[in-house]
Amino acid sequence: MRKTWEVDSIPGHDVDLLCNELKLRRATARVLINRGIRHPDAASHFLNAGLDKMSNPGLMCDIGPAAARIVRAIRNKELIAIYGDYDVDGVTSTAILTLFIRSVGGRTDYCIPRRLTEGYGLNRDRVKDIASRGTRLMITADCGISSHAEIALAAELGMETIVLDHHQLPEVLPKCVAVMNPHRPDCKFPTKDLCSAGIAFCLITELRKQLREIGHFTEGQEPRLRDYMDLVGLGTIGDVVPMIGDNRIFVKYGLREIAKSTRPGVRALMDVAGYPMQGVNTGTVAFKLAPRINAAGRMGEAERAVRLLTTDSYPEALRIARELDEDNRRRQAIEQDIVFRAIRQIDSSEEYLNAPALVVSGQDWHQGVIGIVAARLVERYHRPVFVISDDGRSGKGSGRSIPGFHLYKALRNCDDLLTQYGGHEMAAGLSIDSDSIEDFRKAFEYFAQRELGRNPPQQVLKLDGHVTCAEIDIPWVEELLQLGPHGPGNREPTFGIADANVRNKWLVSNGRHLKLTLDDGTGSHDAIGFKLARHLDRIDGPVSVAYYPELNRFRGNVTVQLKIKDLKFGDARDTAAANPSAWEPEELDQDTAY
C-alpha cells in the first residue's frame, strides 16, 4: 500500500504566537497546532502535563456509590470478587483493584475467564462458582457492560455487582450498584477514552478518599496511589487508547514508575524480555511487555498474569514470566501461519483485492491470535478487517479498523446476521453461525463501501513540516520530547527531507534493519529504517525521507538519529513509497479484549 504524504497549511501568525509566548522552535509549534493546540495556555498545559493536571476522579459517573459499597464490604470483611477480562487491560485493572483493596484490609478473590472455552464477558458458570464461595460483592474489570443476564443471575445468588468497563454502551445499562463507564452520557469525566485500568485508578483514588474520611487509616498506613501507576501505564499502553488527556498523564508517570519499579512481576517481565528497566518507553511496553501479558490469556489461563502482577515473590514472578515468554513464542508461530494463510486467501481473489473491507475465515484458526492477525492485515491492506475462526457450526471473529471507520457501528448495521458482538470504533469481536459468514462478508463490505467509497481508501502519512539536516540538533529533539508520550491521538512528530543524498548504507540487527547516512546539502545525519532492509539495493540515488528525530545514546555519547517512517526513491514527487507495510513476524500485540 503506497502512502500519500500530506503537509497541512498552517497560518504563520499561529506559529509565531506559540513561538513567542513559549520560546519554542517553529517546527515544534507546528506539531502542537497540528494536534489542535493553538492557544499558548493550552500548549503550556499540554507540555507540562503533571499529576496535578489530572481530572478529578469524582467526576466519574457512579464513582461515589461504587466506592461507598466497597468501603462497606471492606469494613464488614465481606469477600469481594474481581471479575476481569483476559487481555492486558483486564489483567492490570484486576491487579490494581486486588492489590489496593487488600492493602486497606479488604478480602478479595479474582477470576479471569478462559478465552477459548468461556469467551469474553461474564460467564454463568463462573458467576455461580464465585457466589458459591460466599462472595457478596462482584466487581467487573474491563467487561460486564452488556452482561445483563449474568448480573441478574448474580443478584439471584445474593451478590451485588459494580461494573467497570469502557466498551460501547448497550441501549440499556445493566441493573447493579454502579456502572462506571466514561462513555455514559451522564458522565462528566472529561477523558472519554479511558481504558479500564484508568477507571480502576479513579476508583481507588475515591476509595482512599472515602476511607480517609471515616478514619480508616492510622498514621503511616494510607496507601500511596503512585505505587499503582506502573500498572495503569501498562494497561493504558496495552489497550491502545488515545494518548490524550488523562491517558497521556497516566502513561507519562506510569513509565517513570516502571523504570524504578520494585514490583516483582514488572521486574521479571523486563528481565525475561531482556530490556533494562531504566530505558523503558511506550515501545517497550507495546512490543515487549504487553504481548507477554496477553499471551497468558491467548494460549492458556490469564489468571497467571494476575498472579504475576500481584505476587510479592520474585522467584514466583520469574517462573510465571518465563511461562508467558514461552507462550508468546508459540503465539508468534501460530500467528505467522494464519497471517500467511489469510494473505494467500486475499491475494488470490480479485474480489477481495478490490473490496473496501475484508472478511477472511479459516477452519479452526486459533481464536487467541485472530485479533492480532486482523491488525496485521490492516497494516498490509489499510482496510477494515475481520478474521473469523470457523469450526463448521459457528465462528468467532475479531476485527480491526482504520481511522474514519467505526467498527462497532458496522456490526450494529449487520446485527441480524450475528449471534453476539461488542467492541468500539477501532476493535471489535463477534460470534456468528457458520452459514451466515458469507452473508456477513457481503453486508460488511456494503456498509464499508457506503462509508468509505467504492475504492480502497488511500493511506496517508501526515507530515508536520519539512526540517533540514542543519536544523536538526539535540536541543530541538529534547524540546520535542515534551510532546510525548506518543500513541493514537498524539502521533509521533513526523517531518520530511526531500532529495537527500545517501553517503552510506548498511544493514544492522542480523540484516533486518536499514541504516543510512543522509546528506541534504545543509548537513548530514544517520537514519534507521526498521524492517526496511529489503530496500538496500533499491537505493542508488537521492531519497526523500519521512522521519521522527530521536536521541541515540551509546557508550556515553548522545547523538541525533532519524527514525525512518517512510521512504520515496528518486524525485520527491515520486509516489512509489517504500513504507514498511509488508508483514514480518514481530512482537506487536496492541489489541483489546477481542
137: phi > 0 → left, psi -120 to 50 → alpha, else beta; which? beta
The span from the CA of 100 to the CA of 208, in Å, is 9
| pLDDT score for 493 | 96
Cβ-contact 112, 94 below 8 angstroms:
yes
Question: Residue 72 is inside which H or E element, if any?
Answer: helix 63-75
| pLDDT score for 456 | 65
Give the distance, in angstroms, between the CA of residue 11 and the centroid of all CA atoms in the same chain: 33
How many C-beta neighbours within 10 Å does residue 586 have? 16
545: phi > 0 → left, psi -120 to 50 → alpha, else beta; which? beta
Measure Cα distances from 192 to 4, 141, 289, 477, 575 in Å: 31, 17, 25, 31, 38
End-to-end CA distance of the chain: 26
The angle subtended at Cα 90 by Cα 85 and Cα 93, nearest 5°, is: 140
Q: Does domain 349-458 have CATH number 3.10.310.30?
A: yes
Q: Flag residues of the chain having pLDDT under 50.
A: 572-594
The span from the CA of 81 to the CA of 94, in Å, is 10
The span from the CA of 141 to the CA of 77, in Å, is 21
CATH of 60-325, one of 3.90.226.10, 3.40.50.2000, 3.40.50.300, 3.90.1640.30: 3.90.1640.30
Sheet strands (E) in 70-229: 79-84, 107-111, 137-141, 160-164, 178-180
What is the total residue count of the chain? 594
Residue with cell 542508488: 540
The span from the CA of 319 to the CA of 308, in Å, is 9
| pLDDT score for 142 | 96
DSSP, res 222: S
Q: Which three cell numbers stand for residue 500?
A: 537527500
pLDDT tens digit sequence for 60-84: 999 999 999 999 999 999 999 999 9
Cβ-contact 208, 222 below 8 angstroms:
yes
- Nearest CA-CA partner of 189 in 58, 66, 96, 89: 58
Residue with cell 508536520: 464
Give the distance, in angstroms, between the CA of residue 368 and the centroid of all CA atoms in the same chain: 17
Q: Output the CATH code of domain 462-569.
A: 2.40.50.460
| pLDDT score for 581 | 41
| pLDDT score for 570 | 67
Question: Residue 221 burial by CB count (10 A; 0-12/13-18/19+): exposed, middle or buried?
Answer: exposed
- Nearest CA-CA partner of 229 in 280, 294, 305: 280
Question: Residue 568 is inside which H or E element, if any?
Answer: strand 557-569
- Nearest CA-CA partner of 331 in 377, 306, 297: 297
| pLDDT score for 184 | 97
Cβ-contact 443, 414 below 8 angstroms:
yes
Question: Residue 152 is inside which H or E element, if any?
Answer: helix 148-156
pLDDT tens digit sequence for 23-39: 999 999 999 999 999 99
Cβ-contact 6, 461 below 8 angstroms:
yes
Beta partners for residue 559, in sequence order: 552
DSSP, res 461: E
Q: Which residues of 487-508 are buried (b: 16+ CB within 10 A; e: fewer)?
A: beebbbbbbbbebbebeebeee
Gyration radius of the chain's alpha carbons:
25
DSSP, res 315: H
| pLDDT score for 277 | 76
Residue with cell 492485515: 377
Q: Where are the domains of the chain?
A: 60-325, 349-458, 462-569
Q: Which long-range contacts (CB under 8 A, 24 or more apart) does 2-5 make?
A: 2/459, 2/575, 2/576, 2/577, 2/579, 3/459, 3/460, 3/461, 3/566, 3/577, 3/579, 4/458, 4/459, 4/460, 4/461, 4/575, 5/460, 5/461, 5/463, 5/496, 5/546, 5/566, 5/568
